[in-house]
Every structure is written in structure tokens, then in C-alpha cells.
Amino acid sequence: MRFFKNSSLAVFFVLGLQLHAQPRSDYWQQRADYDIRVSLDHKTHTFTGQQEITYTNNSPDTLEKVFYHLQFNAFQPGSNMDERSRDLPDPDRRVGSRIAGLSEKEIGEQKILWLKQDGKEANIEHWGTILKVTLPAPLAPGQTTKLALEFRGQVPQQIRRSGRNNSEGIHYSMAQWYPKLANYDRYGWNTTPYVGREFYGVWGNFDVRIDIDKAYTVAATGVLQNAEEMGRGYSTSKKNGAGTWHFRAENVHDFVWAADPKYIHTTHQVEGGPLMRFFYTEKKGDPAKNWEELPKYMERFFQLADSLVGPYPYPEFSFIQGGDGGMEYPMATLMMGRGKLKGMVGLAVHEAMHNWFYGMIATNENRYPWIDEGFTTFVENIIMQKLFPEEGVRASNPHYSNYLGYVQQYEAGKTEVLTTPSDHYLTNRAYGIASYSQGCLLLNNLLYIMGEEDFWKGFQNFFRKWAFHHPHPEDFIREMEKTSDLQLQWFLDLWIGTTQAIDLSIDSVYGDNNSTHIVIGRKGDIPMPATIGVVTPKGVELHHVPIDLMYGNSNQEGKHHPFWKWASRSYTLTLPVPFSDVSVVMVDPYFKTADIQRDNNRWKK
């Protein structure tokens, strides 16, 4: 394991990756360091704050304007989020038409009172959940500027992710609460209005001070800087939180906090790893036993995630009861706190696993939700199989549930291409299947093509190279190609850019006393290499048939054969085995591909 035993080493690792040579010679990314002071009035659910961002323009472009996200404004009748939810045929049940029914005292609000660049007033325009700022002085490439502002707002009634008084009684789930600078990348400004989907942020440090009534315990992204002063489980101090909560987080791209007067705060140190914090409440008749069981599972989670993907570099991670289900943030997750143990562990594993992909790989989730959600789901499934072993098909394919969901959607004719922007899928289900299931299955298909050893080596190389940056799909597939020495762009293009499917088959098996001929068919439109399992009295033989688009053979155990032309619908594999010795033939015998029709994968004498 490669855990860090103290926070200074963790910070060293974070800074080391951040300052590492750029992963591509033409790559650049912006930098935004936040200093925020916010004061929340728990009687009126309103807040005021001041913010200063030190913003560095590392792009080759001169910037004449900047944009901010004001996401609390989504929780107002008539907002894009409200209209979109009521327009979808299958709206999120947590949202539905609830926003339309909010009163003035229940809506969310974020308003910028003024904004200055290096002390000079800037022109600002509120556009719903987006603030447009015309800079008084254009920002040239390589320049750094100070963007200071004052804001006020109102915490909405809990609808989606953030808000007050959620269904489990948590007072404040403060996600998407501050004016968040939009990211500028090679595609320009990311000014997607917030409708409750995905996120994309600028790398930076956050220094945040929170003023709230002393009755509240606060949980947040980062490390509390005044633990002795605040007490409340952050130290052995008897002090009760009377003062300003001061948190600092280094090299993150978002900041969440939550507050409740009844939070129980416990900790668990992962050996050689992060300090885990748990914030939860007890309900009458429910002694929160699952929260007491959770630490041992999550310690094992951090160990497994480290070995499968790479190290978690931050000194702490907080599991915080709050929100409306589960939602990931840097160094923390908001999650529901009731339910059965396995479900709660699964939720915690999924949301914590996001810190490797949403948190450190940090792709533009509006453009590529399938990278974060799909990659997270893929590793989550493997870890959950280790934490709660299942027998049968799930033992060999822990992604079986995602496979079934994808096949059902495909058979219904409702799959949508993965290149669809996250807010523009025609149904919520199509978004979920594409982002979670098809994103997950993309990796399992690559594992089938590349083989276990090269797949995991490439996956870890990708994480190591691109952590603390903003990669794109082609950056991922290049790392997999470099590791395997195979061409793989064809598969990425077909899987994310079309709704075509995989369907390999064993069409016939025949032979004589000297040989056996196996006719492999391609019924689906996505060409794939064929791994064939042949059962004889000697056991199971594995045979690998690459397709010509790969321009090479995978490094997998078994016998390798000449390539299959991708345009051909069939391939005949001839083996020097008497036909009488062959009892079973299977294509994809270990159930790795997302083959939509597995009934034709097996021939039995």
C-alpha cells in the first residue's frame, strides 16, 4: 500500500503531482485560490459573505470577462432546473415539481452585491445560475489578478443535494453555496446553467471561515485549522464551538460544509492513511449502529482503492450525514444516514471513490459524465464484491447489474450516445444508463480487449499522469494504448459516439478426427476481438483472435491467432483438436464484454 502517514507527506504528494511536468506539451489549466468568510443566520436561513480569488490565467488567451456559478438560484420557481424537471418524462423524484411550489422564504438565492478586479469595480450581470463579469482590465496570458466580491443568499429548502432541513432532519447541507468561478479551458468558458447534474471546477486552495451559532457542529472539506479552539470532536478540548470555524483545503476544486446541532462526531485513523471523520445523528429508536460499523468497511475501502487505482493523498476524509442521497465533494461526501448496512456501505464506497475521479481526475463532467460516474462505478463494483462477496455470475462479473440495465435500455431502443452533454439526455434513465452503466462497461470491455495485466497497468498510469489536471477521453485512451501497444481509438469512438452494440456468437462447430472448425459470428455492429474457451478432456483452452483495428495482440494467457478483418461478419478458427474431443465452445467465456445477446455465445455438443 502507498498510504501517507502524516499530513505533510500528503500535501507533498498533492503539490508534487500538481507541479509535475504537464501531461501534454500543449496542456494548460487555470488556477484559482479562494479566501472566503461567510456568516449564516440560522433563524432566517440567510447568509452573507466576502470572497477573494487569486486567479492566474495560464491559457494562451487574453480574458476580457469571467463567469461565476450561482447555483442556489436554481432553487427558484421558473428556473432552468425547475422547467427542466417538469419537462422530463421521468423527473428525479426528489425534484419533480417541488421547486415550482417553493415560497419566498423557501427558495434558494445567491446575489453578488459588488465585484472588483484589483480594486476596480467590474460590470456584473446576473443570468440565473450564471454571473457574467466584464473585467475593467483584460487579463493577459500568464497574469494573476485579484477578484474580490461581496455576496448574500438564502439557503433553500432541501430539494437536491444542498439545502436546509433534509428528510432526515439535518439542518444545513451547504453544497454549491458560494460564488464559484467557472473553468476556462481549451473549449472556452464552461457556463452550463445548473439543473442538478454535474460539475467542473478550477484547481486551487480554499481558505474558508464560517460563522454560525455556537450550538452547531460543522463538518467540511479540508482540515480544521483551529481545532483546539472549537472542540466538538476535532480535539479533546472541552470548548463547544463558540467562534469562527476555519478550514483549509489544498489543491481541490470545490468546497462543501454541513452543520447540525445534534451531530455526533467520531474518528477512525486508517493505518498509514487518512483520518476518517464521521458526522451523524441518532434517531429515536435507531441507535445508528450502521455508523458504528462503517469505519471498518471504509478502512478496507481506502486500502483497496489505493491498490486498484492509486493513493488518496489528502490527510482527512469526512462522511457527513446530509443531502438527499449521496453526493461527492473533495475530501468529503454528503450521504443519507439510514438504511441497511450493505446499502449504506455501498453508498459510502461509491461517493468516496469519486474522490479519485471527480476529485483528482477532475474531467468536465458536463461533457463527459461517463468518465467520473462510470469509472467510479467500475471500481466500486469490484470493491463491493470484495467487501460483500457474492457467488454465481456476479463473482466473475461484479458489473452484472450495470450490464443488465444497459441491455434492457438497448432492447427498448432508448440508449443515447455518451457524447450527449449531461443536461441534454432525453430522459433521466438514459443519462443514468449512459453515465453509470455504459461508462463502467467501457472499462470492462477494454479489460477484455487488453487483458487484466495491461488494463490495470494502463489504468493506474492514467491516474498517476493525469491526477490534479483535467483530462479528456483521448488522454485516457492514449495511456491505455501506450501501455498495451494496441490501437484502441476505434473502440472508444464506437462506444461513446454511437449506439451500436456488441454481439459475438458461436455460429457453428464442426470437424473430423484431425481438427475442429469454429465459426465465430459478429451479429452486432461493434467489431470486437474474440476470446474463445474450448472444453476438451484436457480442460479449458483459451484462444485469442484480435481484430485488424488493434494492430497487435493482447498480452493474455492462451494461444493467439491471425487477425479478424473488422468488416467481416464471420471468422473461422481451426484448431488441431479432434472434433470428438470438443464438448463446449464459448466466446467471451469469463463474461467481460457487454454482449447484448449471450444466448448465442455458447455451443454445446
Structural domains in the chain plus CATH codes? 385-497 (no CATH), 504-604 (2.60.40)
Alpha helices (H) along 167-239: 227-230
pLDDT single digits (tens) 44-90: 999 999 999 999 999 999 999 999 999 999 999 999 999 999 999 99
According to DSSP, residue 222 is labeled S
Q: Residue 300, SS3?
A: helix
What pLDDT is stored for residue 394 in this prediction? 86
**R_g (Cα) of the chain, nearest Å:** 26
Q: Which helix (H) or strand (E) holds 411?
A: helix 400-411
What pLDDT is stored for residue 4 in this prediction? 38
pLDDT single digits (tens) 422-452: 999 999 999 999 999 999 999 999 999 999 9
Cell numbers 470484495 correspond to what residue? 386
Please check whether residue 189 is in contact with residue 197, taking contact to mean a CB–CB distance below 8 angstroms.
Answer: no
Comparing 6-15, 29-38, 192-201, the range with the smallest average pLDDT is: 6-15
pLDDT single digits (tens) 251-300: 999 999 999 999 999 999 999 899 999 999 987 766 588 999 999 999 99
pLDDT single digits (tens) 521-557: 999 999 999 999 999 999 999 999 999 999 999 999 9
What pLDDT is stored for residue 11 in this prediction? 47
The rounded mean pLDDT for the chain is 94
- Distance CA(5)–CA(25), nearest Å, equals 33
Residues 6+ apart with CB under 8 A from 220: 208, 210, 245, 247, 255, 256, 257, 258, 318, 332
CA atoms within 13 A on the CB side of 343: 8
The set of cell numbers assigned to 330 is 473533495
Q: Which helix (H) or strand (E) holds 347?
A: helix 341-356
- Distance CA(266)–CA(279), nearest Å, equals 7
Neighbouring CB atoms inside 10 A of 515's CB total 13
| Stronger pLDDT, 17 or 506, i.e. the higher one | 506
Q: Which residues pair with 224 in a beta bridge?
A: 247
What pLDDT is stored for residue 395 in this prediction? 87
What pLDDT is stored for residue 241 in this prediction? 67
- Distance CA(227)–CA(172), nearest Å, equals 21
Q: Residue 326, SS3?
A: strand
- Closest by alpha carbon to 533, among 577, 484, 566, 596? 577
Please check whether residue 65 is in contact with residue 132, taking contact to mean a CB–CB distance below 8 angstroms.
Answer: yes
What pLDDT is stored for residue 21 in this prediction? 60
